[in-house]
Amino acid sequence: MTWLRFKKKESRRLRPGNSRKDIRQARNFDGSDRSSRRKTMLLIATVCFIGLGCGGLWLWLPTLVKNADGRLKKSGNFVVKEIVIEGNYRCQREDIIKALALNSRQLTFAFSLSRAQARIKTLNFVKEAMIYRRLPDRLQIVIEESQPKALFYIDKLYMVDGDGRVMGPVPAGETLDFPVISGVSLDEWQQRPQVWQRLLSKAAELLQIWDERGQQWPEKIAQIDLDEVCGVTFFTTGRNWEIQLGLENYRERLDRWRRVLQELGDRAAAVKYFDCTGEVSVVAGLRSAQTMNGMKAEKYGQK
């Protein structure tokens, strides 16, 4: 009798990581990974497309602007045809228009207002300048001019504003009644303009304080003398007093001088100069032909 041996069929063993659960997870992972890659590629393609579009626009932009500029100039719709200037009394219209530096058939909106305003402000007499576009074809320029507060003599008379800025020469035939600032030669001004400009600013500071307290002074300022060492000295009208103020603390020193005048009363007519440069006192020097209580000079003030 023949015995047939049947070999028992062995069950297939799954390798680690090949379980049904692992296979399903791997399939899901592959699907999500492919979706993520598609989104990334789509984003990259979109960015590249936008970049190419912007690059092309950037390359063609000058041509487009030039064509639009030419068409507008040819039509004349936005070309500057009228310039209205207000507030200029000393500054000439021709100088203002020249400072605008407009091109031929200049478009109203095709130039920098800030740069044009800065150029106009460099002109003599101009303190502030504002430019407004009035579409389609008009410009409005509003000028604020500096007002002269004093006359500055170097080689000839110049006008000085309230900030100590030299505005320009006095126009021929114009009569101005302002204090005269002197003490500087043309050579000194040209060699060290910064030093003398600082002293001019000090003189302007004195005039501002004087104007603020105009009712307190019995005299007006006739002349201001500048000195690099001694600072500011001014002379009054009427009794021709000489008041030495130095380089600083003008308000306090003028207040002390005013109190000394009140103390002197009518005797102040005998005084030639007042030295107010001291910290707490004022020295009054008498005129040569007069004395006051037998003394040539007296010292007033607080200890």
The tens digit of pLDDT for each residue in 82-110 reads 999 999 998 999 999 999 999 888 888 88
Q: Which residue has the higher pLDDT, 41 or 208?
A: 208
Angstrom distances, CA of residue 174 to CA of 152, 157, 169, 170, 215: 15, 11, 11, 7, 28
User: Residue 1 pLDDT > 50, yes or no?
Assistant: no
**Short-list 202, 192, 196, 193, CA closest to 183:** 196
Q: Per residue in 17-31, pLDDT tens?
A: 555 555 555 555 555
- pLDDT above 90 as % of the chain: 51
The residue ranking higher by pLDDT, 59 or 85, is: 85
pLDDT band at 50 (very low <50, low <70, confident <90, very high): confident
CA 184 – CA 242 distance, rounded (Å): 18
- With a cut of 90, say whether residue 53 has pLDDT above it: no
> 114 or 104: which carries more pLDDT confidence?
114
pLDDT of 222 higher than 90? yes
Amino acid 213: pLDDT = 83
Q: Which pLDDT does position 104 carry in this prediction?
A: 81
Strand, coil or helix: 174: coil
Looking at per-residue pLDDT, the higher value among 201 and 79 belongs to 201
Q: Which residues contact 277 (CB under 8 A, 6 or more apart)?
A: 231, 244, 245, 246, 253
Whether the predicted pLDDT of 3 surpasses 60: no
The one-character DSSP state at 178 is -
pLDDT tens digits for 241-299?
999 999 999 999 999 999 999 999 999 989 999 999 998 889 999 987 555 555 445 55
Check residue 132 and give its pLDDT: 96
Is the pLDDT reported for residue 52 higher than 80? Answer: no
pLDDT of residue 56: 54
Q: Which pair of tokens denotes residue 160?
A: 């000085």
Q: Which of 132, 135, 141, 84 is nearest to 107 (CA)?
A: 135
Q: What is the value of pTM for the model shown?
A: 0.66
pLDDT at 64: 44
Question: What is the token pair recorded at 252?
Answer: 């306090």
Asked if 155 and 137 touch (Cβ cutoff 8 Å), the reply is no
Label residue 302 by pLDDT band (50, 70, 90). Answer: very low
Backbone angles phi, psi at 170, to 5 degrees: -70, 125
Residue 220 pLDDT exceeds 60: yes
